[in-house]
Chains A and B, each alone.
Chain A
């Protein structure tokens, strides 16, 4: 069976402990998470979790069923990669030196990144995009000296009318 990355959207009750329940299910059942993000939705009573994981159809189905069993999980959906806007945010701090500065600036421009902090020794770039784009930018920055970085993990939402509803 084909082994690939899946992205799922999960609507959960906005109550304390819900993130533990969801992430705990993955750990407990031996499923691996690539990344997980959580945040508010249009309704205050619900949060939306986006999880990416690698697996085959079988693993995907098991994960969906186990998630659906959790009391605080209201809706789960596999997001179709061809019909979904997927974004991730990167903040990356790179060593600032007169010899490399111009090259970094060029890359920043081409990637439509932004320099959000500038000092004589370091600069911070902000970049939004799909995972591959973020990966490519990081690779490009490596030779210049990455001092530290953090990325949010992906958020994803389907195009068109298709919605994960927070109220049934």
Chain B
């Protein structure tokens, strides 16, 4: 039976297992939205305040579940508003399918109203993108988009559909199942044997993992590996939540703003086993002791890209470890373990010292305390979302994460304004409460999505670490720019409690731990969106385990 292109899109989405889409209508997607209206009992459309929110929501949906997130926008500005969200998903390997309308084929290339070459614009920030000019290819193109998005190292795919393709009619035959991803690449047996040899000869092994462990569902395997090798573990920002924070072998996040012990152990190790991690510049990996490096990743292009490994293995992490572990001898490294304990001790005293200095200064509310109070009330299933900046690093450092996919943050792109959309997407996908840690700078970027979270009755607690400044940049200005606080002192008069109320949410302001405890209880008892505006001192800094540079 012939049906319209718009209906083919909706039917294919449903066929691919998509039950929720995030979007914003417009002239060139009216037909698509008409079909969404007619199919609203089978697929739910969530209207955001801004297309960027829709893209981040699709991202949050995907990160919290592992499923493909879908967002829809109209041509021109609708499409370009998605771009930051698509780039965010690209840098963090998140499976998203973005659908954009475009002007009819006959109008393309004529600078028509709301026309933009979104294919050209998004080429550098998508895994792949398509424009469908022939309705006969529409359903299969969408299927390919899903396939590409979820295969191997996941990523966003954009499908641009001109209006006349949405209105044209063609046969549609639904498939019984969603498309399967391309087969995974499995590590070569030979290379795994060589890895085993390197590992068996190591005295000070360190396991360094990234987001690939979350995506590749290899949490259990990396812990077995650590146990068998008697080795410490550390991770990149994207690796957080893959293993419980209180696992005795886990030293926390590495990198520029990571944990001291994790950073120092990585520096002192004689062998780094890097799993699903790409050594971004933020990882601040220096390898002063010239350790051997074994690098396993599903994306061949990440191997020998940022660092040169002694042994680079392309392959699925879970499978690689499953096969590698039996090749390894049970190891004990008492001296290395002792050294790790020393480093942990040094880290504790660093933090204690910092806390002491802070208490002496009678600070209003410390970020550490804020996270402590909130995590004390939150359940381990709650999903933690952050924006970008100091609050993000504090949350990454201190929040007691226990379960994979409960920590959503913009790691690679560092997108301020990511949080609101992502939190809405995650909560919609999982039905769980989300807690957004944000700053007054980041929150100011996309607080319009309060409208969405209220409309959708999403259980969301927004914790604003409000210090009145753009703290991360300010921190650099303090250290390297003679305290020239150029454009980082906000000096705004925004009352976030009133903002929350104006959007139909609840809110309160906390200046002391007691006030915060009281508000947090109220917030967690509330079913909708609750904004807690926390007063934080503008000179709080994110500690770094290393001599920090200014870039």
CB of B127 within 8 A of CB of A62, answer no
The answer, yes or no, to whether B349 is at the interface (CB within 8 Å) is no
Number of CB contacts from chain A to chain B under 8 A: 31
* A39 at interface by CB-CB < 8 Å: no
Give, as a whole number of angstroms, the nearest-CB distance from A12 to chain B: 13
Is B123 in contact with A20, judged by CB distance below 8 angstroms? yes
Pick 24 A–B contacts, CB within 8 A, sort by A. A17-B119, A17-B123, A17-B131, A20-B120, A20-B123, A24-B123, A28-B124, A58-B304, A58-B308, A61-B304, A62-B304, A62-B305, A65-B300, A65-B301, A65-B303, A66-B301, A68-B300, A68-B301, A69-B299, A69-B301, A70-B128, A71-B128, A71-B148, A72-B128
- A68-B299 Cα distance, complex, nearest whole Å: 11
**A101 interfacial by beta-carbon distance below 8 Å:** no
Whole-angstrom CA separation of A20 from B129 in the bound complex: 12
Besides A17-B131, A65-B305, 16 new A-B residue pairs in contact (Cβ under 8 A), listed by A number: A16-B131, A17-B123, A20-B120, A24-B123, A62-B301, A62-B304, A62-B305, A65-B300, A65-B303, A66-B301, A68-B300, A68-B301, A69-B301, A70-B128, A71-B128, A72-B128
Which positions 39-80 of chain A face chain B at CB distance < 8 Å? 58, 61-62, 65-66, 68-72
CA distance A82 to B304 in the complex (A): 27
- Asked if A133 is at the interface of the complex by the 8 Å CB criterion, the answer is no
**Chain B residue nearest to A24 in the complex (CB):** B123
Let me know if A112 is at the binding interface, CB within 8 A. no
Residues of A within 8 A of B131 (CB): 16-17
A103 to B21, CA, bound (A): 73
Interfacial chain B residues near A70, Cβ < 8 Å = 128
B116-128: CB near A (< 8 Å → 1, else 0) gives 0001100110011
B124 touches A24 (CB 8 A): yes
Q: Which of B274-308 contact A (CB under 8 A)?
A: 299-301, 303-305, 308
A165 interfacial by beta-carbon distance below 8 Å: no
Nearest 7 A/B pairs, CB to CB: A65-B301, A71-B128, A69-B301, A65-B300, A28-B124, A66-B301, A24-B123
Closest A residue to B299 using CB positions? A69
Most chain A CB within 10 A, of B123, B124, B301, is at: B301
Residues in A neighbouring B299, C-beta threshold 8 A: 69
Enumerate chain B residues within 8 angstroms of A69, measured Cβ to Cβ: 299-301
Residues in B with CB closer than 8 Å to A58 are 304, 308
Cβ of B161 to closest chain A Cβ, rounded Å:
15
**Cα(A61)–Cα(B148), bound, Å:** 23
Instruction: Count residues of chain A with CB under 8 A from any CB of chain B.
Output: 16
Docked pose: A120 CA to B148 CA in angstroms: 60
Are A21 and B301 in contact (CB-based, < 8 A)? no
User: Which residues does chain A contribute within 8 Å of B303, judged by CB atoms?
Assistant: 65
Q: Which residues of B contact A (CB under 8 A)?
A: 119-120, 123-124, 127-128, 131, 148, 299-301, 303-305, 308
Contacting residues, chain B, for A62 (C-beta < 8 A): 301, 304-305
Contact flags A4-48 to B (C-beta < 8 A → 1, else 0): 000000000000110011001000100000000000000000000
What is the distance, in angstroms, from B292's C-beta to the closest C-beta of chain A? 19
Complex Cα gap A72–B148 (Å): 12
Q: How far is the CA of A72 from the CA of B131 in the complex (A)?
A: 14
What residues on B are CB-neighbors of A66 within 8 Å? 301
- Determine whether the beta carbon of B305 is less than 8 Å from that of A71: no
**Chain A neighbourhood of B305, CB < 8 A:** 62, 65
**CA gap between A65 and B297 in the complex, in Å:** 13
Residues of A within 8 Å of B120, CB to CB, are 20
Q: Which residue of B lies closest to A27 (CB)?
A: B124
Contact B127 A71 (CB under 8 A): yes
Nearest A residue to B302 by beta-carbon distance? A65
Docked Cα-Cα span, A62 to B299, in Å, equals 12
Task: Report the minimal beta-carbon distance from A49 to chain B, rounded to whole angstroms.
Answer: 16
Inter-chain contacts of A17 with B (CB < 8 A): 119, 123, 131
Chain A nearest CB from B119 CB (Å) reads: 6
Which residues of chain A are within 8 angstroms of B127 by Cβ–Cβ distance?
Answer: 71
Most chain-B CB neighbours within 10 Å: which of A16, A28, A65?
A65
User: Nearest-CB distance from A79 to chain B (Å)?
Assistant: 21
Distance A66 CA – B299 CA, assembled complex (angstroms): 10
In the complex, which residues of chain B have a beta carbon less than 8 angstroms from the beta carbon of A65?
Answer: 300-301, 303, 305
Chain B residues in 8 Å Cβ range of A28:
124
Task: For the complex, give the distance between the alpha carbons of A66 and B25 in Å.
Answer: 36
Chain A residue numbers with a CB within 8 Å of B119 are: 17
CA distance A68 to B124 in the complex (A): 15
When chains A and B are docked, how far (Å) is the Cα of A121 from the Cα of B301? 54
CA distance A58 to B306 in the complex (A): 11
C-alpha spacing A66/B301, complex, angstroms:
6
Residue of B nearest to A20 (CB): B123
In the bound complex, residues from chain A placing their C-beta under 8 Å from that of B124 are 24, 28
Give chain A residues whose Cβ lies under 8 Å from the Cβ of B300: 65, 68-69
> Given A71-B128, A71-B148, is A21 in contact with B123 using a C-beta cutoff of 8 Å?
yes
Chain B residue at smallest Cβ distance from A66: B301
CB nearest neighbor in A for B151: A71
A:64-123 near B, CB below 8 Å: 65-66, 68-72
Q: How far is the CA of A28 from the CA of B148 in the complex (A)?
A: 21
Q: Please give, as numbers and ranges, the residues of chain A lying within 8 Å of B301 by CB-CB distance.
A: 62, 65-66, 68-69
Chain A residues positioned under 8 Å from B148 (CB to CB): 71
Chain A residues whose CB sits within 8 angstroms of the CB of B308 once the complex forms: 58
**Shortest beta-carbon distance from B83 to chain A in Å:** 15
Closest-CB distance, A61 to chain B (whole angstroms):
7
Determine how close the nearest CB of chain A comes to the CB of B312; give it in whole angstroms: 10
B residues in contact with A21, CB < 8 Å: 123
- List the B side residues contacting A72 at CB < 8 Å: 128
User: Interface centre among B148, B300, B303, by most A CB within 10 Å?
Assistant: B300
Inter-chain CA distance A72–B129, complex, in Å, is 10
Q: How far is the CA of A24 from the CA of B131 in the complex (A)?
A: 18
**A68 to B119, alpha carbons, bound, how many Å?**
20
